[in-house]
Homo-oligomer: A and B are copies of this chain.
Amino acid sequence: MKKIKIGAVGLGRLGRKHAENIAFRIPNAELTAVCSLIQEEVDDVVRSWDIPYGYTDFNQMLKNKELDAIAISSSSTEHCKQIEAALDAEFHVFSEKPLGVNLEECKIAEKAVERHPDKVFFLGFMRRYDDSYAYAKKKIEEGAIGKPILIRCYGLDPVKAVKGAIAFAEKSGGLFLDMAIHDIDLARWYLGSEAKSIYAVGGCYAYEEFKKYNDADNGAALIQFKNGAIGMFYAGRTCAHGYHIETEIVGTEGSLRIGTIPEKNLVTVFNDNGVVRECVSGFLERFEKAYLNEMQEFVNCIVENRRPDVTVYDGTNSTIIAYACKESFENNKLVTLE
């Protein structure tokens, strides 16, 4: 079996998970190189997993012509320039979301992708590859709920992670760009339309620390899409019960909910609190299989010379909408997109 040789940049929590999936769980891929600004991270992975090449300089890795593809999990601010450089060096590219932290960056990535139509570009909106989200999409396409008319998206981080969110707040881009962007992509995907009018509100209800970054600990947006459909979004950083990602698509003839209860597993506990479902603690637990599925699909796209369903334009358009939410929230006004 031919194996796609991949170089992975970024070895943070999610970057390491991607690297691990490539190394051990994708039969037709091989983790041939890793790259991180932090020498210790590189050394650790190279040694423990027996990886041929380790780099601290991304451009050095791009010179390694054994590689077929680059998987980018670096800081959000690096995504676009690394996408461009990797494509221009003739590699297939997987990049974590967000595509870019502003529209200009996204456009740079778009152009690079357009310059290399023979290369696979894959944007890490992994939820589309989650079994439940994919099943919902399939059911909708089969007509199970009629025409989708409203989507409600909850993206709630566990309060246990709020300290980290505060530390990261300065460069996160804020609640809507950092967290709601996955939901915005889902809304566009399920509704098949782009946003028209956006109103977003929020506040620092529990953690004043977000205020100095013009950010919120909880916020919501109401969006009317161009086809008339409605989007309701709620993003928060103070969820007591865990990591709560819930999506509902209401159609003219029925509804689907994905993840009403963010259950950890199939165990129900009956104790003096009542009947209890314990919940997932974070994105790596909730989307473990989705991260694997998306990387497998990236590799399969390369092997089979296909293009993934999720495109660079999904990245740009989701970023535009997330920015509009941020603008609406910051200025308390209705924002209309062209």
A61 to chain B, nearest CB (A): 23
Which residues from B are CB-within-8-Å of A60? Answer: none
With A257-B268, A263-B275 given, is the CB distance from A201 to B205 under 8 Å? no
Interface flag for A334 (CB, 8 Å): yes
Interface flag for A100 (CB, 8 Å): no
With A23-B27, A150-B234 given, is the CB distance from A271 to B205 under 8 Å? no
Task: Name the CB-closest residue of B to A265.
Answer: B132
A266 to chain B, nearest CB (A): 4
Interface residue ranges of A187-202 to B (CB < 8 Å) = 197, 199, 201-202
Cα-based distance from A278 to B142 in the complex (angstroms): 16
A268 to chain B, nearest CB (A): 4
Inter-subunit contact A218/B149 (CB<8 Å): yes
Cα-based distance from A152 to B261 in the complex (angstroms): 16
Cα-based distance from A132 to B280 in the complex (angstroms): 13
Dominant secondary structure at the A interface: strand
Copies in the complex: 4
Interface flag for A163 (CB, 8 Å): no
Interface flag for A213 (CB, 8 Å): no
Which residues from B are CB-within-8-Å of A257? Answer: 267-268, 270
Interface flag for A112 (CB, 8 Å): no
Task: Name the CB-closest residue of B to A198.
Answer: B199
A17 to chain B, nearest CB (A): 15
Inter-subunit contact A132/B267 (CB<8 Å): yes
Which of A38-46, A168-176, A220-228 interfaces with chain B?
A: A220-228
Cα-based distance from A23 to B136 in the complex (angstroms): 31
Inter-subunit contact B232/A220 (CB<8 Å): yes
Inter-subunit contact A150/B218 (CB<8 Å): yes
Task: Name the CB-closest residue of B to A136.
Answer: B267
Which residues from B are CB-within-8-Å of A278? Answer: 273-274
Interface flag for A258 (CB, 8 Å): yes
A259 to chain B, nearest CB (A): 5
Cα-based distance from A257 to B275 in the complex (angstroms): 10
Which residues from B are CB-within-8-Å of A139? Answer: 267, 269
Interface flag for A238 (CB, 8 Å): yes
A217 to chain B, nearest CB (A): 9
Interface residue ranges of A46-65 to B (CB < 8 Å) = 50
Which residues from B are CB-within-8-Å of A221? Answer: 222
Which residues from B are CB-within-8-Å of A254? Answer: 240-241, 269-272
Inter-subunit contact A240/B253 (CB<8 Å): yes
* Chain A to chain B contacts (Cβ below 8 Å), 16 pairs: A25-B27, A136-B267, A149-B218, A197-B199, A220-B222, A220-B232, A222-B232, A232-B232, A255-B270, A256-B267, A257-B267, A257-B270, A259-B266, A260-B260, A273-B276, A274-B276
Top 7 nearest A-B pairs by Cβ distance? A222-B222, A254-B271, A132-B266, A199-B199, A24-B27, A255-B270, A132-B265
